Amino acid sequence: MATTIVEGFSISHAAILDGATGAELANGDIYGVREGSVELDMDSYDNTGDDVVLSTWYWFNFATITVQAGYVPFSLLATLSGTTLVSSGVAPADYYTLPLWDTASLNTTTRPMLVRVPSKDSAGVTRNLDIVLYKVQFQPFSFDGPSYKNGLLLNYVGKALVSSVSETGAALGGGARAVGKLVSKP
């Protein structure tokens, strides 16, 4: 029987979700993830009086999601950048083109996202820890490299914004707002 205490290891999967069913978009997989992070942007205010801190107020603004991958998925880049993928020719002489950093890739539609971390619980039962982000606004993608042994790396960076709806578009209920959710599952 699984427990509610889990230990995460590494990113095994990252994907853009379809926004309706929670399933990945066709070609929504960020293939070949090398590393990533989810970092909360937060701050605090100390309420002082009589030369002491009487209380502290905390708040957060958004979470920054960063994923680096070793493959260039043309279909996914077209989806995230709001541009059109063009293909021409017949295999094996087919080719694909995609605008590189045009103005259409600025301020694109927000999308839900999943980051999966293999984990195990405190009893040693293997689980997946999913970080589901409800509303991610992506920056234009960028590259590192190409460099010797590391090759060409593709960087995805976005802000996970506060949302009143889940990854499937369902209201969170009770006026709740959140950046996302954590899910531990077999």
pLDDT level of residue 26 (50, 70, 90 thresholds): confident
Average pLDDT over residues 149-161: 93
pLDDT level of residue 28 (50, 70, 90 thresholds): confident
**Residue 168 carries which DSSP code?**
T
Asked if pLDDT for residue 47 goes beyond 90, the answer is yes
Average pLDDT over residues 57-82: 92
**Residue 127 carries which DSSP code?**
E
Asked if pLDDT for residue 155 goes beyond 90, the answer is yes
Asked if pLDDT for residue 21 goes beyond 90, the answer is no
Contact (Cβ atoms closer than 8 angstroms) between residue 70 and residue 151: yes
In single-letter form, the type of residue at position 81 comes to: S
Asked if pLDDT for residue 68 goes beyond 90, the answer is yes
In single-letter form, the type of residue at position 116 comes to: R
Residue 107 confidence (pLDDT): 85
Q: Between the CA of residue 111 and those of 6, 54, 56, 124, 174, what are the distances in Å?
A: 27, 40, 33, 34, 23
Rounded mean pLDDT of the chain? 91
Radius of gyration of the chain, Cα coordinates, nearest whole angstrom: 20
Residue 149 confidence (pLDDT): 84
Per-residue pLDDT of 112-130, as tens digits, reads 999 999 999 999 999 999 9
Asked if pLDDT for residue 186 goes beyond 80, the answer is yes
**Residue 104 carries which DSSP code?**
G
Average pLDDT over residues 154-182: 95
**Residue 111 carries which DSSP code?**
E
Residue 44 confidence (pLDDT): 95
Per-residue pLDDT of 85-110, as tens digits, reads 999 988 888 999 999 988 888 888 99
Nearest to 16 by CA among 85, 71, 67, 62: 67
Helix ranges, the chain (H): 74-81
Q: Could you tell me which residue, 143 or 105, shows the higher pLDDT?
A: 143
* Domains of the chain by start residue, with CATH: 6-42+53-185 (2.30.110)
Asked if pLDDT for residue 22 goes beyond 80, the answer is yes
Residue 16 confidence (pLDDT): 93
